[in-house]
Amino acid sequence: MQERKYRKFCFFDIDGTLAVGRPGIDQYVPASVAEALRKLRENGHFTAIATGRSHAMAYGKMIELGFDNMVSDGGWGLTVGGELRELQALDYQACLDLVEECREKDYIWAIQPYDSDTRFAPDGRFYAATGDSYMKTQAIEGLDPRDYPQIYKMYIACPPGSEYALDALKRLPWCRYHDSYIFVEPTEKEKGIARMVEMLGGRTEDVVVFGDGPNDLSMFTDQWTCVAVGNAVPELKAKASFVTKNADDDGIYHACVHLGLFSDPEYEKRNGVSQL
């Protein structure tokens, strides 16, 4: 029987899980997170990011945290050993139809046609409506999505609930993180995780995922162990195998010790942690 290369396969969301605070404003990575990642790797576990961010938007954070493996683009992008192996775009015709409907109904929109840190908008209204600093927004007069061979993400500025008036949106995956706009992007992290583990010859029962937000719901399945940080949304906690402390209160470290991914007798004694 072939010996397994990794003990467990650990996948981490970025925003609100590994990193706390507001992206691009005051976000930081707690010191206990870096220490937990170091100990996981020392103890023979595979570590990877699992994020809704595009590959380009997440690559710097991946390197900063010492990762070279990543499920990006909501499960549609795979980076293994620092190399981008797979990246799937959205349904092109559905995107074109959504832009046309936005134009007809006067919804403010932007597209991301490249694996980059910049989205394109037909005018300055998107930034004016959202004030968003998550990524760069470039206004291109006369922007036509048909000038680009693919679209990886779209962004629609609209108040909560108004997105349901867009019929074309029903054919595309989307998620809302802010009151001012929605992300039209893949939300299938679980498929990317399963695909990566398969590529590496691992077993899905050896997967452990960590998350906090609504775009993590798909990766919280019965196939593997699911850890929600204490600051996670209620619906994610309801699906979790274990709910740990807040991300900014040693939540990742606490969960790793509790799950027996590595040992820290002093921490266990000080915090009353019992390993599974």
The reply to whether the predicted model has a pTM over 0.95 is no
Regarding beta strands 153-157 and 181-184, do their DSSP bridges make them parallel or antiparallel, or are they unpaired? antiparallel
Contacts of 203 (CB under 8 A, 6+ apart): 4, 197
49 vs 52: CA distance, rounded Å: 10
The answer to whether 252 and 33 are in contact (CB under 8 A) is: yes
Q: Cα angle at 36 between 211 and 5, to 5 degrees?
A: 90
Q: Is 226 helix (H, G, I), strand (E, B) or coil?
A: strand
The C-alpha atoms of residue 213 and residue 74 are separated, in whole angstroms, by: 12
pLDDT of residue 134: 79
Whole-number Cα distances in Å, 214 to 195, 233, 263: 21, 7, 31
Quick one: pLDDT at residue 2?
Answer: 45
**Where do we find the tokens 């209160």?**
249
Residues 6+ away with beta carbon under 8 Å from 118: 112, 135, 136, 137, 138
Question: Which DSSP symbol is given to 133?
Answer: -
> Could you tell me if 215 and 232 are in contact, meaning their C-beta atoms sit under 8 angstroms apart?
no
Residues of the chain short of pLDDT 70, as ranges, are 1-4, 24, 274-276
In 3D space, the residue among 64, 11, 63 whose CA is nearest the CA of residue 40 turns out to be: 11
Q: Tell me what pLDDT residue 121 has.
A: 97
Residue 200: the pLDDT is: 94
**CATH tag for 9-88+187-271 (out of 3.40.120.10, 3.30.465.10, 2.60.40.1930, 3.40.50.1000):** 3.40.50.1000
Residue extent(s) of CATH 3.40.50.1000 domains in the chain: 9-88+187-271
Q: What does the pLDDT read at residue 119?
A: 97
Output the CA angle 171-17-219, nearest 5 degrees: 40
Strand partners, 182: 156, 176
> What residue spans in the chain does CATH classification 3.30.1240.10 cover?
92-184
Q: Please check whether residue 130 is in contact with residue 178, taking contact to mean a CB–CB distance below 8 angstroms.
A: yes
For the domain spanning 92-184, the CATH number is 3.30.1240.10
The per-residue pLDDT for 3 is 52
Which amino acid does the sequence have at 21?
G
